[in-house]
Amino acid sequence: MKAKFEELLQIAKGRTVCIQTHDYPDPDALASAFALQELLRRRGIDAEIGHFGTVDKVNIRMMMDVFEIRTMTEEQMRALPEDVVVINVDVQKNNSNLTDMHGEELVCIDHHPWVTKEHYAVVIHKLVGSCATIVTQLFEELGEEIPPIIATALLYGIKMDTRNLCVGVTDEDLEAFSMLHRIADHDIIRQLDNNSLQLSDLRAYGAAIHNITVYDGIGFVHIPFDCPDGLIASVSNFILELDAVKLAVVYADRSGGLKFSVRSEASSINAGQLVNLALRGVGNGGGHATMAGGLLYKERISELGSDIDTAIHKRFGEALEKVKNG
């Protein structure tokens, strides 16, 4: 990774640089971007962090305040020069949760399964539980000391993206977590943990409780209004905790269609493959074996017929059979 980081520096030297996370960034994306920004600063490169979509969850807003993470507005991102170097963090090009901007996406640092067919000049990619783990390893390989504030952000990113080291975690995540744990400010971690839910979130959880349908271990929930990606994912995790549910499929109305979050605790069901198959032809999706997301395009919803929920249940049921049968 050290050599690839040096290539990144050569590309970014003397140019405007934007570290772009996925839309509606989560703690892992923000922590990774924040730490990478510090690494670049130490090498004489000033980079700004940017994302599309709002930050609505209270713990993420608190995270940005506590760590003083500053991000550009959408207007500022669109006003960047045409030759801006874009570093995609925790996401890949052509993903449903990445809004395209006019710069050159030349660098990608990501931990999700590699699915994009687009070219990057530099790719730093590992199949680990958190993108923050990769950035932590970059600090170590470069011989850079990690200050407590950066360590705390990275630790929180790993903690949240692996659901407290329970989902998708690898030995590399554990090693990074252990190292960061010795440096991090645990009072801040507790503060963030105790402020993860706000009153307005209860509406989405209420819709989940009211609308849940369970078929053969699959819990389907249609949230009939728009809500942030992070909240949809939280509801998906919530549904998966039910003893009758081994696979959670949660989808919410969105101006651009239907936004999906899928969670699997069954080793035989790869969530990323499942959502990709289920939405093929009407949208796109992908992700990890245990957690994934997708988008059903607005212009294709009419193809589902008058009973959208039944059509979605059928699509996922058929996709599940294909995944199970290899």
CATH number of the domain that residue 280 is part of: 3.10.310.30
Q: What local confidence, expressed as pLDDT, does residue 229 receive?
A: 84
Residues 272 and 301 in one domain: yes
Residues 69 and 171 in one domain: yes
In tens digits, what is the pLDDT along the chain, a chain of 326 residues?
999 999 999 999 999 999 999 998 999 999 999 999 999 999 999 999 999 988 878 889 999 999 999 999 999 999 999 999 999 999 999 887 899 988 888 999 999 999 898 999 999 999 999 999 999 999 999 999 999 999 999 999 999 999 899 888 999 999 999 999 999 999 999 999 887 777 778 899 999 999 999 998 999 999 999 988 888 988 999 999 999 999 999 999 988 899 999 999 998 899 999 999 999 999 999 888 899 999 999 999 999 999 999 999 999 999 999 888 76
CA distance 212 to 148: 42
Q: What local confidence, expressed as pLDDT, does residue 255 receive?
A: 85
How many domains does the structure of the chain reveal? 2
Residues 32 and 179 in one domain: yes
Where does a domain end: 137, 164, 193? 193
CA distance 40 to 158: 21
Residues 175 and 46 in one domain: yes
Residues 103 and 233 in one domain: no
Q: What local confidence, expressed as pLDDT, does residue 94 receive?
A: 84
In angstroms, the Cα distances linking 283 to 45, 53, 263 are 38, 19, 18
Q: What local confidence, expressed as pLDDT, does residue 13 receive?
A: 94
Written as six digits, the tokens of 184 are: 């991090």
Residues 15 and 139 in one domain: yes
Residues 112 and 236 in one domain: no
Domain CATH number, residue 55: 3.90.1640.10
Q: What local confidence, expressed as pLDDT, does residue 194 receive?
A: 83
Contact present, 167 and 290 (Cβ < 8 Å): yes
Residue 221, classed as helix, strand or coil, is: strand
CA distance 159 to 170: 12
Contact present, 312 and 218 (Cβ < 8 Å): no
Residues 130 and 278 in one domain: no
Q: What local confidence, expressed as pLDDT, does residue 238 receive?
A: 92
Contact present, 51 and 119 (Cβ < 8 Å): no
Q: What is the dihedral of CA 73, 77, 79, 85, to 10 degrees?
A: 150
CA distance 62 to 68: 9
CA distance 17 to 44: 12
Residues 183 and 307 in one domain: no
Written as six digits, the tokens of 40 are: 């670049």
Contact present, 109 and 92 (Cβ < 8 Å): no
Residues 171 and 218 in one domain: no
- What domain range is 100 assigned to? 2-193
Question: Which residue matches tokens 């605790």?
Answer: 265
Q: What local confidence, expressed as pLDDT, does residue 95 receive?
A: 82
